[in-house]
Chain A
Amino acid sequence: MEFNAIYVIVARELKKFLREKSRLFSAIARPLLWLFIVGAGISRLVPRDTGMPYTQFIFPGIIGMTILFSSMFSSISIIWDKEFGFMKEILVAPVSRTSIVVGKALSGTIVSTIQASVILALFPFLGFQLSLIQIMLVLLICVSVSFCISSFGIVLATFYESYESFSVIMNFIIMPMFFLSGAMYPVKLLPDILKIVAQLNPLTYGIDALKHAIFPDGMGQMSPDFSLLSCASVIIGTSLVFVFVASRSFERKG
């Protein structure tokens, strides 16, 4: 791996992100809407005796949503780079395909983690009391989940050439990924078929890990669905697979 190349790919992406302030704003508006409008509305339907207020229950899910949207959409930069030809400049350079994928994934990771941190900072308003260790743990999980979802987005982006077809497939994938991730309702309450789908979704484990960190002693229905160890292994394992697959499909075509 070439660290100079990874560094400069990340630096370029961040420079562009910072020049485009509206992206940060719109990326944060969506989770706020879900947290305080959708979440507050649904919480009226949820019985009080489930262990915690519904708005608290969805907090990890909303952090996960922030990461999902921002990581998946950061891979659009690959489509733009292909459309405007810049990808060729990167691909003819003496840089391993893995470095290119890692550089792009780290850019997505940093941008997503920044946005997730803004949402995380709202925890006092939702009645949580998080210790410094918990906050550090949440950030660590955010970094790993962002990396995982970003590299998943990159895998998809390597198969598409145009913005139109890519955004269609993105919208087709993102919403099911969000609804079948345990973000809005516990995976254990889903019907069997959907439960299987949720278990194939890496975001499920990311959000579950966040639940472990944010309400470690959550009980009953609202408790996490998997063990922290299995969440960690799935996130790390799938990240490696995604980086590998993306690097392979960046190899020359034809």
Chain B
Amino acid sequence: MSIIRVENLVKKFGNITAVNDISFKVEEGTIFGFLGPNGAGKTTTINILCTLLSPTSGRALVAGYDCMKEPASVRKSIGIVFQDTTLDKDLTAYENLVFHAYLYDVPKIEMKDRVNDVLNFVDLYNRKDDTVKKFSGGMKRRLEVARGLIHRPRVLFLDEPTLGLDPQSRNNLWEFIAELPKKHAVTIFMTTHYLEEAEVCDRIAIIDNGKIIATGTPDELKKIVGGDVVYIRTSDNVNAKREIQRSFGFDVLEKEGELYMTCSMGDTCIPEMIRTIGEKVLTVRLQRPTLNDVFLKLTGKAIREEEVSGEGSILESIRAYRRRH
């Protein structure tokens, strides 16, 4: 069963079309990723799905309820972690959670247990009596996820859950999010800027300028750019190139004395390649495709300038790829 169904959704703010006729479905118990650059319309879509905004036209159903006609039922079925924190910083972690439990009419006898359970789940039990003011960004994020789970929602929305976190906390949070569907019987709808982060998703939709430009599993999307790019420096480029082309059938290109090729599974490809060309190998590096690459491929423009710089070689390979198709 599709737990979220969006049909021809449009949202205009004056003459800005934030969401431009999008349709998609999310299956129950899966993690769905909404991927797009700043201003793509991700938050606007979430706000419509969680009944904070009304669409200009189109339809949205969450847990079988119409977001426009049955907002109360939708609200009961969802939990949400907004892009910007919505905790009361003057209250303690525990008080924030109890507030939420009352708002969602959690039965009083269960309240304490449920609050303590989620606090343990996000590893904040021993900080429960600290005011949220004293929490780090990552702790606040975890507390918000915990809060979103207290009332046992069927869908949990996460709007850029890793915003402002260091790489370590990002990874922890992703591991934690990946476990949610099984542990809490919940469907996850999340947004992010990074394809790497969308790795945990079962399905991804890429949105740009209010339009969905691609949907698929993370692997399917990476295949759009032809997968990973492997760079090899060898002592004998000419022969190495010939050997790789013969054994793997890759299109091997050369740039600044370095060979490079795109392959769908870089990690398994590298060992085989080294076995084939043996001693000639000097250095090997692997570049995973980013959202920016998929983006470039689909729209012909970069997402953000700073992400484009330093990726000259991969841009080259994509241009080469595009010329060939």
Residues of A within 8 A of B (CB): 2, 4-5, 7-8, 12, 15-16, 19, 84-96, 252-254
User: Which residue in chain B gives the minimum CB-CB distance to A20?
Assistant: B90
- Kindly identify which residue among B73, B82, B99 contacts A12, using a CB–CB cutoff of 8 Å: B99
Q: How far is the CB of A11 from chain B (nearest CB, A)?
A: 8
CA distance A7 to B147 in the complex (A): 19
**B52 contacts chain A at the CB level, 8 A cutoff:** yes
Could you tell me if A85 and B52 are in contact, using CB atoms closer than 8 angstroms? Answer: no
Could you tell me if B80 and A2 are in contact, using CB atoms closer than 8 angstroms? Answer: no
Q: How far is the CB of A209 from chain B (nearest CB, A)?
A: 34
CB neighbours (8 Å) of A8 from chain B are: 98-99, 102-103
Given contacts A12-B91, A84-B89, A86-B87, is CB(A94)–CB(B50) below 8 Å?
no
Could you tell me if B99 and A85 are in contact, using CB atoms closer than 8 angstroms? Answer: no
User: Which residue in chain A gives the minimum CB-CB distance to B18?
Assistant: A254
CB neighbours (8 Å) of A16 from chain B are: 90-91
Q: How far is the CB of A231 from chain B (nearest CB, A)?
A: 36
Could you tell me if B105 and A2 are in contact, using CB atoms closer than 8 angstroms? Answer: yes
- Kindly identify which residue among A15, A89, A92, A96 contacts B78, using a CB–CB cutoff of 8 Å: A92
CA distance A91 to B74 in the complex (A): 12
CA distance A89 to B78 in the complex (A): 12
Q: How far is the CB of A40 from chain B (nearest CB, A)?
A: 39
CB neighbours (8 Å) of A96 from chain B are: 72
Given contacts A7-B102, A12-B88, is CB(A88)–CB(B53) below 8 Å?
no
- Kindly identify which residue among B54, B84, B103 contacts A90, using a CB–CB cutoff of 8 Å: B103
CB neighbours (8 Å) of B223 from chain A are: none
Chain B, 62-105, contact with A by CB distance < 8 Å: what is the 0/1 string? 00000000011101101010101111111100010011101111
- Kindly identify which residue among B76, B86, B98, B105 contacts A89, using a CB–CB cutoff of 8 Å: B86
- Kindly identify which residue among B52, B54, B90, B99 contacts A88, using a CB–CB cutoff of 8 Å: B52
Could you tell me if A85 and B89 are in contact, using CB atoms closer than 8 angstroms? Answer: no
**Interface of A: prevailing SS:** helix
CA distance A5 to B106 in the complex (A): 11
Could you tell me if A252 and B102 are in contact, using CB atoms closer than 8 angstroms? Answer: no
CA distance A84 to B72 in the complex (A): 24
Could you tell me if B90 and A254 are in contact, using CB atoms closer than 8 angstroms? Answer: no
A–B pairs, 29, beta carbons within 8 Å: A2-B105, A4-B105, A5-B102, A5-B103, A8-B98, A12-B88, A12-B91, A12-B99, A15-B91, A84-B88, A84-B89, A85-B82, A85-B86, A86-B87, A86-B88, A89-B100, A89-B147, A92-B52, A92-B75, A92-B78, A92-B80, A93-B100, A93-B104, A94-B75, A94-B103, A94-B104, A252-B53, A252-B54, A254-B53
Q: How far is the CB of A95 from chain B (nearest CB, A)?
A: 6
Given contact pairs A88-B82, A252-B71, enumerate 18 new A-B contacts (beta carbons under 8 Å): A4-B102, A4-B103, A5-B102, A8-B98, A12-B99, A15-B91, A19-B90, A86-B87, A86-B88, A89-B86, A89-B100, A92-B75, A92-B78, A92-B80, A93-B103, A95-B75, A96-B72, A252-B54
Could you tell me if A92 and B88 are in contact, using CB atoms closer than 8 angstroms? Answer: no
CA distance A178 to B211 in the complex (A): 53
